[in-house]
Structure 1
Amino acid sequence: MTIRALLAVPAGLVVALSLNGCKQEDIPGAAFNHKPGFLTGTISQQHYDGVTDDLLTAGLGASGLASAVPPAFADSLNPTPIELRRMAIYNNYRALVDTAPGGGYGTWFGPQVGAEGEGLIAGDEYLAFIDSGDELAPVTVMVQVPDSFDPDQPCMVTAPSSGSRGVYGAIGTAGEWGLKKGCAVVYTDKGTGTGSYNLETGTAQRLDGTLTASGDEPVQYRVRLDDAGRDAFNAAYPDRMAFKHAHSGANPEADWGLNVLQSIEVGFYVLNELHGQETGNGQRVVTIKPNNTLVIASSVSNGGGASVRAAEQDEKGLIDGVAVSEPNVNPLVDAGFTIRQGNGAVISDHSRSLLDYTTALAVYQGCANRAPAIRDLAPFNAILNDVTVNENICTALAAKGLVTGATLDEQATDALRILNDDFGVQPEQNLVAPSHFGASVAQSIAMTYANAYGGFAVTDRLCGLSLAATDGSGLVTPLGAAQEAALFSASNGIPPTAGVNQVYDDASGGATNLKQAVSNSSGLADFGLDALLCLRSLAAGTDAVSGEVLTGTAAAQAQAIADGIEGIRASGDLQGKPAVFVTGRADAILPINHTSRPYVGLNQRVEGGDSGLRYYEVLNAHHLDAFNAFPGFNERYVPLHHYYIQALDLMWSHLKDGVALPPSQVVRTVPRGAGAPALTATNLPPVLAEPEESDRIQFVDNQVRIPD
């Protein structure tokens, strides 16, 4: 059965796609369409009419996505696949895009911009699993083909998920832009995703997000434990959850580039099943090919990093150009170049790994939150952070000799100095970082990535940490049935999320929510600092307190993590492909001195004059635009998403019409200011084709030079 024939199949029916019929030699010179061998199981197909439901908004439309009232489940314990999809799209869109009035939604970006009505887009959607080499942790892939797709001018956009999100994680970024252009959009959860596993019940998520306790069905992730092993773990640590990114035992990031390339191949397969030349016997001749299809590798954050890695690894010529925002790239360390902003200090200690700087933020940011220079200015600092816990962190760090100062103010100031001076965190990030600490961003990344890089299992409980629901006192409790049923649509794949928290099993007094945990070494409620110092030690390879080289089990764990990090380093070789990076200078999750800036330098060292990379550093912009909906953020920061859209537009014009990409530059945005009036063109100046010389980012004498 061809995909075209599937359009007549009743909605929601999952069908197996197979190719039968004549042999390729029956048509001289023809290449027949074949299902990629790495696809496993069935492919789910659904056509959306663009009226009652659609590809981009799940039928909610622009106003529904902006509504503070989420779509509901008719039965909270048994949501349907359609309900889960709708909620997943709602949550993932709002997690990355500011939909609040005045912030640009509906004016500068959004489903309704440049579209009719509410921006619903009709078309076909295909979902399947990719064989990752581990049947218990497959990779999810999705292809969306809008009805507006033109087979005579084919185009494709990659949309790997941001963060650890599921396959709909880039729906509001690369997904929206590509669908509006009439392009096929190919998505992948890149081996992370929301796949959860309840160790108590053996419940896991199917491809469509519904739950099953059957051990025989294909699921997004299942723990590798027999019944006896699971019973033993549950007896010691009841009610725990495992998550795919953290606990699959793999290092999924090492294959992010491969997963994006695979998603492109699936995209070509689907397009040729839909539009390839018919032979009359069920076969299709391949007519949509890489050499006649415009393919842009895109997405944001982790998804952006995945597309960059795909471009580096593209040996088949699948990708024509790259346009990404705030990419999570870990460039190979090259001491042969430096970075300098304006007349500031020369930065030679760049290109630290994600786990390196994130564990530093997890350890020191809580204390830095109360530094006099930022504590009263940082948005949400007083709301998301407990003042006593912050002070306890300072006291515990000082007792260990990790910060200096006779007073809490001095200790907090020293903690902030350590992050800025010793770890290359830009001062522009200082006001954003406290809110992220309060939301457990660094803490969650540190735990998940340490486990993933080292290939550890849930039973290893690295640094005494596990995952579970907790009550108001911080004690472990079973995850509510309704919460678990909604995880596919509500979770971001990296706890704490959707009711699942980080638990410090080795806390004083027993297993406690990390946020409320008392450390044995300090006797203080210090956000489980002992566990965070353990993660920091494993990232550094030396004891975070004594500075001594690790030994025994800790040394073996640190080495496994170090090996995993080497496996995810970016080469800087984009093979001459045109590429655009946009990054906010105030990014407090992926510090620019370890991501975009050094990638530019590494790329120049590798490709030199053949480089097609352009880098646009946006002032007054940070990593999580969704925070801009709130007071304090809305006054200070502009949407980086707007410049991501511009990056895609620039790449489109370059590839379609040969328009030169503007040179690398600093984009000088203007904050909205007091009262946060609606954004105007004054706030959002464009990337300029001919920027002032003083605004150009250049690579001179082995130095990445960034204007102030």
Structure 2
Amino acid sequence: MKRMMLCALIGASGLTLTGCKAPFNEIPDFVQGEIQHTSYDGITDDLLTAGLGATGLASTPAPAFADPLNPTPAELRRLAIYNNYRALVDTSAGGGYGAFFGPQVGSGGEGLIPGDEFIAFMTVPGSDVPVTVMAQVPDSFDPKSPCMVTAPSSGSRGIYGAIGTAGEWGLKKGCAVVYTDKGTGTGAHNLATNTAQRIDGTLSSTDEAVQFRADLTDGERAAFDSRWPDRFAWKHAHSKANPEADWGHHVLQSIEFGFYVLNEKFGRDLGNGKTLQTINPKNTLVIASSVSNGGGASVRAAELDTLGLIDGVAVSEPNVNPEVDRSFTIVQGDGPVISEHSRSLLDYTTALAVYQGCANQAPAIRESAPLNAVFNPPAIGENICNSLANKGLVSGATLDDRAADALRILNEEFDIQPEQNLLAPVHFGLAVAQSISMTYANAYGRAGVEDRVCELSLAATDTAGAVTQLAAAAEAALFSVSNGIPPTAGVNIVYDNAEGQPTNLAASASPSSSQQDYGLDALLCLRSLATGRDTVTGTALEGPDAELASAIADGIARVRATGDLQGKPAIFVAGRSDAILPINHTSRPYFALNQRVEGKNSNLRYYEVLNAHHLDVLNGFPGIAGRYVPLHHYYFQALDLVWAHLTDKQPLPPSQVVRTVPRGAITNPLTAANLPAIDPSPDAGNRIVFTDNQLRIPE
């Protein structure tokens, strides 16, 4: 540190010194355009709750716009924070909000946090697609003891997508929090009107910086709109950038942006128009964090970190696609040995998209899965089963037999945990696997909106499923309401090849079956592209389909994680019942791969939480609340443990299974008895170990 200061002073004097690079604060080269800066007083508005406070975040209805057709940036921000917080955190009574987590916990009052917010566009080398980056600096930040937490958005969400997870923990700790949308976010381009979102969410149809517009000339866009009217291009799906391949770089750049912001605010003014960087990686504690896709992005950042920017990692349910290493196996209790682990996201998700609609009708699931009948009409499920049977993809003479076979295929052939079976139906009803399959097939293959992969497009639809214009008020609110991956905020997946006319995928009749089977032909097409083989015939794809499948395979290869965290102290927490990112293909094999790659130098711990899953927000619903606990609580514990390890040298607890106790009924509030802490010295029967090339997980 002393040498860096000496170099800076010598450089400022006009002299030169070999080996010195004056650490003056400069805007990073990757920042595009102006940096917008807003201060929040913590009374009328704030960094964490947008002035709503803990009570406002948990209340309904949502904040409204004074003019629904012309919301202000502040109104859009407030609603975006409200929706993004509630999308990831269960704010219902008795579910832990206000007791174990929430803005008010540990803060008192309503938990409003004053401070400064800086937001800008950036790009990564080789791409001109804008990525949003943001730094929040709470007034409680101490420049004498600086800390920073990364908060890349979960899922495909926008810049506030991790506000309630890494954002809340970091801001309450007095740390700067650096966010990025990872090249996803709303980024909705209305191809009929050429309208898109500015960085603040307001709409623009002029030639100015926006979050995303499709790579089409005006003539190409007009021609497309003439043939396929009222369609949207979406950033994650249609940017032709495969943003996931750069998620780690996005996070590293967000950290650099954070250091720039901190030094602009706290650096030493040398009086010559230059500022000395006094806050730097050597004196700042940096934790790479977030959940789901954001967690995966922070893991990739830690793998790519050659500059020593990151000190530790704490992530929850990370979307990691570990490199395939079949030299090790996975076993849970006395269960089957799993060797076909580490399937890609697109592989297992297209399988869920194809088979889950039928599996929902299996006798073991049909009546016991919460909200199954509400989200999944039995007639559609039966049609899906019939279509699969007619194509030879499931066996059985009756609906029960066919549905049971579909469930068997998912659990046994794809090694998807049986613990997820009761939650999978509601996820299918919410189109989770279907939307991921469509978006990621496009993204991995770098396809444009004009390619309409598998005859799928995006548009608003009416009650009959036909394409219609998105209401003006709905489009004005997209920045605040969309989760970045249709169906969302009134924009649906449309099967252009549906029998009759282009139709909302969920209501589509397939040409091959002439029955309403959730557009199964389109889902089978996506599955074929994921494997490179026709799902029905088993033959290799040919022509353009083979080329696209090859491009998709290359895109998947580019997002594979190495397992090398370079010895950084790290914690993964995951719920055994995760029905979106099956743990046999994500956290479990990544942990094992890390043990193979780093061996005795590994500082990664893996905590698998029983009765926990991917979307805590569902815990507020009857039938789900009584069965599951908030994984969010253990994510915050993981952050606390990494913090204590880095600041006080407290050892990280060994990898273990955490045995929670469901509350039994939504009327029973969660207590400490339901949520046992991660054990610093777990019994042997709870320890997760990697030995003899096998990851062994207690039952």
Structures share fold, TM-score greater than 0.5: yes
Aligned position for 1:120: 112
- Partners of 2:681 and 2:546 lie apart in 1 by 52
- The alpha carbon displacement at 1:388 in A equals 0.6
Are residues 1:610 and 2:601 paired? yes
Q: SS at 1:43's partner residue?
A: strand
- Give the distance between the partners of 2:315 and 2:667, measured in 1 at CA: 28
Counterpart Cα distance in 2 of 1:674 and 1:634: 7
Residue type of the alignment partner of 2:394: V
1:210-235 C-alpha deviation (Å, 9 max, x unpaired): 000002x1110011111111111011
Which residue does 2:535 correspond to in 1?
A: 544
Corresponding residue for residue 439 of structure 2: 448
Deviations 1:524-579 (A, max 9, x none): 10000000000000001111001111111111110000000000000000000000
Question: In the alignment, what sits opposite 2:175?
Answer: 183
Structure 1 residue matching 2:363: 3-state secondary structure: coil
Q: Write the distance in 2 (CA, Å) between the matches of 1:336 and 1:133.
A: 35
Q: Which residue of 2 aligns with 1:140?
A: 132
Residue identity in the other structure for 1:255: D
What's 2:45 paired with?
A: 53
Q: 1:393 corresponds to which residue?
A: 384
Quickly say closer, same or farther: Cα 1:27–1:497, change in 2 above 3 A. farther
**Correspondence for 1:575:** 566
Amino acid at match of 1:443: Q
Q: Which amino acid aligns with 1:369?
A: N
Native 8 Å contact 2:358 2:381 kept in 1:
yes
Q: Secondary structure at the match of 1:360?
A: helix
Q: Which residue of 2 aligns with 1:69?
A: 61
* One-letter amino acid of the structure 2 residue matched with residue 198 of structure 1: N
> Aligned partners of 2:666 and 2:419: how far apart in 1?
21
For residues 355-409 of structure 1, the C-alpha deviation after alignment (integer angstroms, 9 at most, x for no partner) is 0000000000000001000111111101111111000000000000000011000
Deviations 1:395-430 (CA, angstroms, capped at 9, x unpaired): 000000000011000000000000000001000000
How big is the shift at 1:641? 0.1
Deviations 1:579-605 (A, max 9, x none): 000000000000000000000110011
Q: Which residue of 1 aligns with 2:456?
A: 465
Q: Which amino acid aligns with 2:646?
A: L
Residue 428 of structure 2 is aligned to residue 437 of structure 1: yes
> Is residue 634–residue 676 contact of structure 1 (8 Å, CA) maintained in 2?
no
Per-residue CA deviation, residues 299-322 of structure 1 (Å, 9 max, x unaligned), is 000000000000000010000000
Matches within 5 A, 1:214-613: 214-215=206-207, 217-613=208-604
User: Which whole-Å CA distance do the structure 2 matches of 1:319 and 1:249 have between them?
Assistant: 29
> Shift in Å at residue 613 of structure 1?
0.2
Alignment partner, residue 43 of structure 1: 35
Structure 1 stretches of 4+ with a deviation exceeding 6 A read none
Shift of 1:683: 0.5
Q: Residues of 2 paired with 1:291 and 1:167: CA distance?
A: 27
Corresponding residue for residue 73 of structure 2: 81
TM-score (norm. length: structure 2) = 0.97
Q: How far apart are the structure 1 equivalents of 2:125 and 2:170? A: 30
TM superposition shift of 1:22 = 12
SS across alignment from 2:436: helix
Q: CA deviation at 1:281?
A: 2.9
| TM-superposed deviation, 1:134 | 7.3
Cα deviations across residues 489-519 of structure 1 (Å, max 9, x unaligned)? Answer: 0000000000000000001101000000000
Residue 121 of structure 2 corresponds to: 129
C-alpha contact 1:304 1:324 (8 A) present in aligned 2: yes
Q: SS state of the match for residue 159, structure 1? A: strand
Letter of the 2:90 partner, please give it: D
In the alignment, structure 1 segments of 5+ residues that lack a partner are 1-20
User: What is the DSSP-based 3-state SS (H/G/I as helix, E as strand, rest coil) of the residue aligned with 2:365?
Assistant: coil
Deviation of 1:278 after TM superposition, in Å, equals 1.4
Corresponding residue for 1:9?
none
Aligned to 1:34: 26
8 Å CA contact 2:625–2:665 kept in 1: the answer is no
Q: Which residue among 149, 166, 173 is the counterpart of 2:141? A: 149
SS of match in other structure, 2:460: strand
| Residue 198 of structure 1 pairs with residue 190 of structure 2 | yes
Supply the AA of the counterpart residue of 2:532: G
Rounded Cα–Cα distance in structure 1 between residues aligned with 2:416 and 2:24 = 52
Between the aligned partners of 1:605 and 1:334, the Cα distance in structure 2 is: 9
d(CA) in 2 for partners of 1:469, 1:305: 31
SS, match of residue 592 in structure 1: coil
Task: State the secondary structure of the residue aligned to 2:674.
Answer: coil
RMSD (Å) for aligned C-alpha atoms: 1.2
Asked if the contact 1:97–1:625 (Cα under 8 Å) also holds between the matched residues in 2, the reply is yes
Higher mean alpha-carbon deviation, 218-227 vs 437-446, is at: 218-227
Structure 1 residue 26 displacement after superposition: 4.2
Contact kept in structure 1, 2:124 and 2:249, CA below 8 Å = no
What is the SS of the residue equivalent to 1:636? coil
Q: How far apart, CA to CA, are the structure 2 residues paired with 1:671 and 1:219?
A: 45
Letter in 1 for 2:575: G
Q: CA 1:409–1:62 in structure 2 vs 1: closer, same or farther (change >3 Å)?
A: same
- Rounded to whole Å, the distance in 2 between the matches of 1:500 and 1:426 is 31
Q: 1:515 corresponds to which letter in structure 2?
A: A
Deviation of 1:470 (Å): 0.1
Asked if residue 103 in structure 1 is aligned to residue 92 in structure 2, the reply is no
User: C-alpha deviations, 1:254-278, integer Å up to 9, x for none?
Assistant: 0000000000000000001111111
1:700 alignment partner, one of 680, 691, 698: 691
Question: Could you tell me how far apart the structure 1 residues matched to 2:535 and 2:322 are?
Answer: 24
Partner SS for 2:640 = helix
Quick check: 1:312–1:572 contact (8 Å CA) kept in 2? yes
CA distance in 2, matches of 1:247, 1:173: 28
Distance 1:315 1:150, change over 3 A: same
1:667-686 mapped onto 2 (5 Å cutoff) = 667-686=658-677
CA distance in 2, matches of 1:180, 1:284: 28
Q: Which moved more, 1:671-680 or 1:23-32?
A: 23-32
Does the 8 A contact of 2:103 with 2:168 survive in 1?
yes
Shift of 1:68: 1.9
| Structure 1 residue 639: Cα displacement | 0.1
Task: Map Cα deviations across residues 29-57 of structure 1 (whole Å, 9 max, x no partner).
Answer: 75211110110100000000000000000
> Is the 1:136–1:223 Cα contact (8 Å) retained in structure 2?
no
- Give the secondary-structure state (helix, strand or coil) at the position aligned to 2:480: helix
**Deviation at residue 136 of structure 1 after TM alignment:** 6.0
Percent identity of equivalent pairs: 70
* Distance of aligned partners of 1:554 and 1:438 in 2 relative to their CA distance in 1, 3 Å threshold: same
Q: Shift of the alpha carbon at 1:120?
A: 0.1
Alpha-carbon contact 1:22-1:281 (below 8 Å) kept: no
How far has the Cα of 1:282 moved from its partner?
3.0
